[in-house]
Amino acid sequence: MSKLIAPHGSDELMPLYVYDTSENERLQHEARDLPSILVSSAAAANAVMLGAGYFTPLKGYMNKADAMSAATDMKIASGLFWPVPVVNLVKDAGGISAGQRVALKDPNVEGNPVLAIMDVEAVEELSDAELATIVDKVYGTADPEHPGVAALLSQGKTVLSGPIKVLNFSYFQTEFPDTFRTAVEIRNEIAERGWSKVVAFQTRNPMHRAHEELCHMAMERLGADGLVIHMLLGKLKKGDIPAPVRDAAIRKMVEIYFPPNSAMVTGYGFDMLYAGPREALLHAVFRQNMGATHLILGRDHAGVGDYYGPFDAQEIFDTIPKDALKIDTFRADNTAYSKKLNKVVMMREAPGHTKEDFVALSGTKVREMLGQGIAPPPEFSRPEVADILIGYYQALDSGKLSS
């Protein structure tokens, strides 16, 4: 069996999900009599990532000191490299105090079932200045219009910290049974396939030709055994394409345009931060935990709007300690179809080209075309993928769906 890359800061994965059925049932029964708190969507997503082993070796939510240290120095008190705070912020602790055991209720599932049980080690308040520091360091902007900043500022300033035991994977396992996978499951499948050099591709969108070819390029240049397409399944900003549509489009592309057994289509349960460079580092941490040796970093990875420079998320990897991560990166320029060369290329590798030599379409233009039932040119989007997206946008524009 091939030897896989070690998890982050640990010899083995440390998922916080309670796999033992009788123990899980016992804790669910215990939770009925515990004080409970309805957590934010972001805290619920953190619990899912902790439960799935993606946030190995963390044992739960960070306290204030670790959260501040992660924000300012990208490491926690133990010295472990960690690029963003993993916190449970609430507006009101409701009388909960250190030493208590509490049930964390899921805001994203009807009836708010218990998602996890937490042993509260500390209840601390962030000052306005401390919250502002976290916002500035993690997002690089204090603009309340930034979707990640807006989400963070809506959560509250009380930090509940301590270890957790996760009892379910929220809505991800039920809504996306074919796609949601824990880091444990992905590691196991990589091992079963006999892969050792594994490329991860992050996406929150359907994959166009340029994305597809970027994956092929990375696999070929790195001599990789396989590719894990790892899509975000959690909360996005308004206007982003919903996960089931993305999933269908990506699966169709892999089925037709990738060799058999060369690519896995998977997803993870997390809310997008849109934190650009810092989120790219977090992506690397949890891709290492799931067994990937390389992470593809495209232009404006994990960005939104024009808050970050096109290659900030690549360059931040040059600023961290050499031993911070074991995973490597594959850094890509803009990729587009060259009419001169009749193939998708990285723009920096295509000298003698003008803008007119590339097939380039804006997201707005593509959406307009799809909404009108017009497939983008095949150089931009595979026709089979375009058909799925046309169906979605036409239903959206006819009022049968809400965005």
- Tell me the pTM: 0.95
Task: Give the CA distances from residue 48 to residues 53, 164, 229, in Å, rounded to whole numbers and listed in that order.
Answer: 9, 11, 19
Q: Of 24-28, 89-93, 106-110, 235-239, which gets the smallest average pLDDT?
A: 235-239
Report how far Cα 123 is from the mean position of its chain's Cα atoms. 28
Cα(268)–Cα(247) distance, rounded to whole angstroms?
12
Supply the pLDDT for residue 54: 98
Please give the pLDDT value at position 401: 64
User: Can 204 be counted among the known catalytic residues?
Assistant: yes
What DSSP character marks residue 17? B
State residue 308's pLDDT score. 97
pLDDT of residue 219: 98
Q: Out of 1-5, 121-125, 179-183, 338-342, which region has the weakest mean confidence (pLDDT)?
A: 1-5
Candidates 101, 193, 204, 367; catalytic one: 204
The pLDDT value recorded for residue 400 is 66
Q: Which residue has the tokens 């708190």?
A: 37
pLDDT at 402 over 90: no
> Superfamily for 21-173?
Sulfate adenylyltransferase (3.10.400.10)
Does domain 177-397 correspond to CATH entry 3.40.50.1980? no
Average pLDDT over residues 149-163: 97
Q: How is the chain split into domains, by residue range? A: 21-173, 177-397
Cα separation of 375 and 361, whole Å?
12
Q: Catalytic residue at 205?
A: yes
pLDDT at 347: 86
What is the rounded CA–CA span in Å between residue 183 and residue 189? Answer: 10
For residue range 367-393, what is the model confidence (pLDDT) as tens digits?
888 889 999 999 899 999 999 999 999
**For helices 277-289 and 128-139, what crossing angle results, to 10°?**
80
Strands 158-166, 60-61: pairing is antiparallel
- State pLDDT tens for residues 39-60: 999 999 999 999 999 999 999 9
Summarize pLDDT for 197-248 with one digit per residue, the tens: 999 999 988 898 989 999 999 999 999 999 999 999 987 777 778 888 999 9
